[in-house]
Amino acid sequence: MLFQAATFLAVAGLALGHSPYNPPQEDGWETKYTATGTAEVAAAAATAKTSSPTSKVRGKAFDRIAIIYFENENYDKAFGDPNFAWFKSKGITFSNYFGVTHPSEPNYMASIAGDYFGMQNDDFNRNPRNVSTVIDLLEHRGISWGLYQEDQPFSSFEGFAWVNHKNGKNDYVRKHNPAALHDSVTFSEKRLSQIKNLSLVDTSQSMFHKDLKENKLPQWMFITPNMTSDGHDTSVTVAGNWCRQFLEPLLKDKHFMDNTLVLITWDENETYAMQNHILGILIGDAVPKHLVGTTDNNFYNHYSEISTVQANWDMNQSSPSRGELCTLYGL
């Protein structure tokens, strides 16, 4: 298998459009777990389901991909952080990576839907269930998926935010959970059950670490740190420290590193007056040794994350996609 620095990401922006895959029809779940009061959350947590489906579908360049988004940082500042510099030394640095718009939420929308549908805010936005996402493509190919949201109070939570009751800070926010923005997910109890929590404070209560220990991590995963850990309410230094604490042990874990790629990137840059230039770093045991520590100067953006998955697992690249798909795999 040929793997060049440019073989990871595909560059074309694409909208997945209307789904031909008949997403689950489970009416009533769109408002099942939206309450954010302490008592309501405790009651919902007692009944909400959690599931961890697994699969082993071989890919052309990798068998697992984990995508981690940090928040609102200009390329140069992220590039200069010592912890992210350490990750750059372990993989491929993407020097020409871009967010697709501003503010945050539409970038998360675009990351799994291939379009941000003109969204220009961080409100309680919803895409109707006939709009497909990468989740539809993954399920159609029998590839397991899951999202891990730091400090989400329980699996399936759909509320706008969850506040840390000790310090009053925002922990989890819906706008950084791309699957929660789509009715094709929130109308399905099964799909909601695959949006789970992650915690570095108490790993015994972290579904990510439970799935890791039981070797039940999915082949596609999207990981969102909380509003402190992702740098949104803090700094790139805090984000870098969190990333190192979370990822460094996983680089040696056989349950995680199983022909795996990890994409570290940001939703958008901080300075709106500048081009939306963000840092991207690719690490993992699926990165060939001769590319470790190198830089890829090709153009990429958040749409590339979907295109890469499509190319790797031979997904349909003409339907439901719109526009010409340009993959850098040379397949």
Q: Are strands 64-70 and 220-224 parallel, antiparallel or unpaired?
A: parallel
Active site members = 233
pLDDT tens-digit series, residues 160-191? 998 877 787 789 999 999 999 999 999 999 99
Rounded Cα–Cα distance for residues 240 and 319 (Å): 38
Q: Taking Cα atoms as reference points, which of 327, 324, 330 lies closest to residue 307? A: 327
pLDDT tens-digit series, residues 97-110? 999 999 999 999 99
Rounded to two decimals, the pTM is: 0.91
- Please answer whether residues 90 and 257 qualify as being in contact, where contact means their C-beta atoms are separated by less than 8 angstroms: no
Is residue 61 scored above 70 in pLDDT?
yes
Q: Are strands 220-224 and 260-266 parallel, antiparallel or unpaired?
A: unpaired
Query: Tokens 């895409």 — which residue?
Result: 127
pLDDT tens-digit series, residues 13-42? 445 655 555 555 555 555 567 777 788 888
- Token pair, residue 37, equals 């009061």
- The CATH number given to 5-312 is 3.40.720
Angle in degrees, CA 140, 145, 148, rounded to 5: 155
Rounded Cα–Cα distance for residues 88 and 234 (Å): 22
What is the Cα gyration radius of the chain? 18
